Chain A
């Protein structure tokens, strides 16, 4: 057996073990009902366990077991367990997989869940986890993007810190002033990244990635192309950013955390790492994104879903209802796990990160655009990277790359729409 064979074997054994674990999750020795809650982020595990503990206090007959499955195995395992009807009872859902799970009937319909007050959440997030008018997941949290900067590098040149007046022009101007090739310092970091770079630029420029009814992508739109051109120019033309080749050797986080860059976009999920990083904690801060023609940031968020075939329906729904409550959301905030989705509970998260001006993240909700999403998103996002990296490397023009990309994505969307129609006709 080759090495790849061994990897597959290890994966399948791991999957088997999970199936076992999930299969065993029934009665505990003391007669309590045991349900499982699957998550993938280790940083959030303490908060999730605290939520489980608080829930158990009011539901002494239920035991919630928090199961951590790292991201790179999570989806393989979840799909395997879905096929064998042994899914965890309650689990985290990501928007890029949600539509696939919902359309295949894997998720419990939570539309009428008592305690799930949709008005308490940003509407886009509720919509994010809605399929054919029914709600299959409760918004758990959300994330937006901010402009991080290195105060020390700004101070050295006597430049004032980024603020709400900044636009693209100002960003480039300051980045040029702060770029210092002799010391290996870059003014800005512009890797090939969707959520924390060019999607934001596209919407700031009035363009779009996907049209509103998901029938075509926005890559033929000149305003979209212009925004992508701007992102590419940062490394190719203005040379205020490392090139895509350099980013293969050193990531954006590494550049920023080692003081080799003055500015970069980072999502609110980076706070966990940044507050633990001594250099960043002492020298860096965050401001709202610079505006283009308008102000915009991409935002998205996770959901909590219940298995459609859970063997412990009542217990799982009771726990889901608790996850939808203000109390559970406040625990997430106070324990610095994430920005909770429940409106008005973010203060705990802001207080937990007092070192930085993090309130810009929840405030960004006012102008945030929800992450473009469709059933084949995993495919077209990978295709974006495949095609656009040639533009980032300067091998093809942005216009040509966008045309190629538009043809590919539109074909995927057309197929997706055709299949949805077929499915509807079947019903």
Chain B
């Protein structure tokens, strides 16, 4: 090891090497975090002028039904997209870990949504979802199913957004899970076979415990991603859409208050609420992991 007898010079070198990342995090993550926290206690007067108003924004937040609806929407989106998305990712990863023909092609297809621009993805889905001329309703009509208002029916719009969200996240999670699957030594499966385990038992008693650390990571990041849902709502639901109230997430509401209405301070209070929710949920997951995550 080079750094066993490391002098000051070597440490300086080490710090220099990590500096870009540390600086990036400080400037782009840590500073804005504290700045947002400060802004949430002020009133924005525009052009960088802020007046301290104490808890006013939080009082307003508590009384704002739009905010609580957004909390419900955000949680609904997160639960639906994580449960469905992670389950599908695991299924796809396990299937594509087998030596089937065209495996590379399938992997590419599943990963494609990850490398596509979210805006372009949303535009294509918007066209697919079109109630009058969309491909999905056209296909459904061949089975005698009447037109579904995917993006304008308040009960349907959230599901439509979840579908797009799941579609884009499966590929990314699949890659992580595939890597985890390939770490599992073959000898474990051979031993299980000797004991007479079938495919289902092998999955439940070998694959699942062995992949649980990866799965935990996937769940935590997917939950955080779900809580931050914004782009699909922004691209697919316009302000005059009647389904907006039942789909707008906390981040969308933050965007609306901060950038459309110009109220940066109230927007900051909304993201602070999101931060608290994220911290609570992540803390719960950390606690629960002891029950199901298996570390060697």
The residues of B that contact A191 with a CB separation of less than 8 Å are 240
Would you call A248 and B151 a contact (CB within 8 A)?
yes
With A2-B224, A4-B230 known to touch, is A247 a contact of B131 (CB < 8 Å)? no
Q: How large is the interface on B (under 10, 10 to 19, 20 to 34, 35 or more residues)?
A: 35 or more
Selected from B225, B231, B242, B256, the residue in CB contact (under 8 A) with A248 is B242
The residues of B that contact A1 with a CB separation of less than 8 Å are 28-29
The residues of A that contact B118 with a CB separation of less than 8 Å are 3
The residues of B that contact A117 with a CB separation of less than 8 Å are none
Closest to B261 in A: A379
Q: How large is the interface on A (under 10, 10 to 19, 20 to 34, 35 or more residues)?
A: 20 to 34
The residues of B that contact A4 with a CB separation of less than 8 Å are 228, 230-231, 251
User: Which applies to chain A's interface (DSSP): helix, strand, loop or mixed?
Assistant: helix
The residues of B that contact A83 with a CB separation of less than 8 Å are 47-48
The residues of B that contact A76 with a CB separation of less than 8 Å are 259
With A79-B47, A245-B152 known to touch, is A378 a contact of B260 (CB < 8 Å)? yes
Would you call A79 and B46 a contact (CB within 8 A)?
yes
The residues of B that contact A192 with a CB separation of less than 8 Å are 240
Residues of A1-29 contacting chain B, CB below 8 A: 1-5, 7, 9
User: Which applies to chain B's interface (DSSP): helix, strand, loop or mixed?
Assistant: loop
Q: Which of A151-159, A223-231, A321-329, A384-392 contacts B (4 or more CB under 8 A)?
A: A384-392
The residues of A that contact B243 with a CB separation of less than 8 Å are 248
Would you call B225 and A249 a contact (CB within 8 A)?
no
Closest to A76 in B: B259
Would you call B48 and A244 a contact (CB within 8 A)?
no
With A83-B48, A249-B151 known to touch, is A382 a contact of B240 (CB < 8 Å)? no
Residues of B233-277 contacting chain A, CB below 8 A: 237-244, 251, 256, 259-263
Selected from A104, A250, A382, A390, the residue in CB contact (under 8 A) with B260 is A382
23 contacts between A and B (CB under 8 A): A1-B29, A2-B225, A3-B230, A3-B231, A4-B251, A9-B28, A104-B49, A184-B132, A244-B240, A245-B149, A245-B152, A246-B131, A246-B132, A248-B242, A248-B243, A249-B132, A249-B151, A379-B261, A385-B239, A386-B239, A389-B242, A389-B244, A390-B242
Chain B residues packing against A (C-beta within 8 Å): 28-29, 46-49, 118, 129-134, 149, 151-153, 224-225, 228, 230-231, 237-244, 251, 256, 259-263
